[in-house]
Amino acid sequence: MRVLVTGGAGFIGSHIVTALTARGHEPVVLDALLPAAHPAAPPLPDAEFVHADVRDPDAVRSALRGVDAVCHQAAMVGLGKDFADAPEYVGCNDLGTAVLLARMADAGVRRLVLAGSMVVYGEGRYTCASHGTVRPGPRRAEDLKAGRFEPRCPDCGAALAPGLVREDAPTDPRNVYATTKLAQEHLAASWARCAEGRAVSLRYHNVYGPGMPRDTPYAGVASFFRSALARGEAPRVYEDGAQRRDFVHVTDVAAANSVALEAVAGLAGGTMTAYNTGSGEPHTVREMAAALATACGGPAPVVTGEFRLGDVRHVTADSARLRDELGWRPEVRFAEGMAEFARAGQRTSAEPVGPGRP
């Protein structure tokens, strides 16, 4: 199968290219090599490469020639610097997706796997002893400043127990990036209906592993900790460190994309199906920092009480649908994955990672 991988020079995309090639498929990469994602020139993928923006309709039209399916990874990621980034996020992620889907409709390419995200859920799933499943609203700055990090029951103010989020949980994006990721799914669903397409959104949880971008405002938390340790400094953990996340290894995410690309043709036409993509092994951010510090032989994490508005407290996935319907199994356990990440490091021009490169 010939697969157009947008964002295929990025962290996750480059692992997808490797996984697709290993399964006998033919990836074609389209990537704009955004400076925010690639402060230094990245190694180019070991695949046919088109240096272009997904917002460029002509480039997308020619890249789609002979393509059976599209794996859409290109996006601006992370929380960004401030609200001034909003137009660029919406441009790359939503206008870009709209241009891609319009060209797919023209070209009759009807299979799409989208890089979704758990950020569409906002706060995860919580249970109140008196009120059952509840959805706490955004946390208030004054609570966070006072060290009250746990969301409370919106009905009675009681402490809540976090649970696993399923795909039918209501969506509630809490920042610009999350909003653009949710809009991508709605665009994909509209395209599927209008163009008899079949779409899958893999809602990745916190992806980590070799080739992860360095600690730019657009990077993930494991990157910040890894970079601090590389400088001989302690990882600085926000809030009280008890935020729960599902850290899923990038090779497992790449495998989920391969499985989804192979299965998408057999799914119901005209629909988009979302699948949580997590390891099923929730950990706190402090545990993650400690695992990296131990593996690096570096200083123990420092819990700072700082916070970022727009961060959610706990969000962990129930990935049973992806396991049961598509037969995917995550293979990298937390302890071994973090130890390997601590050794393997992040993406720079001097530290090439990517398809065909160790």
Binding-site ranges for ligand NAD (CB under 6 A): 6-7, 9-13, 31-34, 37-38, 53-55, 73-77, 92, 96, 115, 117, 181, 204, 206-207, 213, 220
Segment contacting Zn ion by CB under 5 A, of 75-83, 153-161, 193-201, 256-264: 153-161
* Least Å from the CB of residue 238 to ligand NAD: 17
244 in contact with Zn ion (CB under 5 A) = no
Phi and psi, residue 244, nearest 5°: -100, 135
Cβ-contact 298, 348 below 8 angstroms: no
156 binds, among ligand NAD, Zn ion, none (CB under 5 to 8 A by kind): Zn ion
Q: Name the E strands within the chain.
A: 2-6, 26-31, 48-51, 69-72, 111-117, 125-128, 132-134, 161-165, 198-204, 206-208, 236-237, 244-245, 247-249, 271-277, 283-284, 302-303, 316-317
Which position among 153, 288, 332, 342 is part of the footprint of Zn ion (CB under 5 A)? 153
CB atoms within 10 A of CB 272: 23
Strand partners, 244: 284
Indicate whether 36 belongs to the interface with Zn ion (CB under 5 A).
Answer: no
- Cβ of residue 164: shortest distance to ligand NAD, in angstroms? 17
CA dihedral 54, 56, 59, 64 (to 10 degrees): 50
Q: How far is the CB of 118 from ligand NAD (least distance, A)?
A: 7
Q: 53-58 — which CB contacts under 8 Å span 24+ positions?
A: 53/96, 54/6, 54/30, 54/92, 54/96, 54/97, 54/99, 54/100, 55/91, 55/92, 55/95, 55/96, 55/99, 56/99, 57/99, 57/102, 57/103
Measure the CA–CA gap between 293 and 265, rounded to whole angstroms: 43
Q: Is 131 in the site for Zn ion (CB under 5 A)?
A: yes
- CA dist 181 and 128 (Å) reads 29
State the nearest-atom distance from the C-beta of 154 to ligand NAD, in Å: 27
Q: Which is nearer to Zn ion, 131 or 323 (CB)?
A: 131
Which part of the chain contacts Zn ion (CB under 5 A), choosing from 116-124, 149-157, 240-248, 345-353?
149-157
**Which one of ligand NAD, Zn ion, none is in contact with 74 (Cβ closer than 5 to 8 A by kind)?**
ligand NAD
Binding status of residue 161 toward Zn ion by CB under 5 A: no
- The SS3 call for residue 322 is helix
Q: Does 130 bind Zn ion (CB under 5 A)?
A: yes
Candidate ranges 12-20, 51-59, 121-129, 326-334; the one touching Zn ion (CB under 5 A): 121-129
We find the least distance from the C-beta atom of residue 42 to ligand NAD, in angstroms, to be 7
Decide which of ligand NAD, Zn ion, none touches 155; Cβ closer than 5 to 8 Å per partner kind. Answer: Zn ion
Binding partner of 130, given ligand NAD, Zn ion, none, CB within 5-8 angstroms per partner class: Zn ion
CB 122 → ligand NAD: shortest distance, Å?
14
Judged by beta carbon, residue 9 or residue 153, the one nearer Zn ion is 153
Place of tokens 């916190």: 206
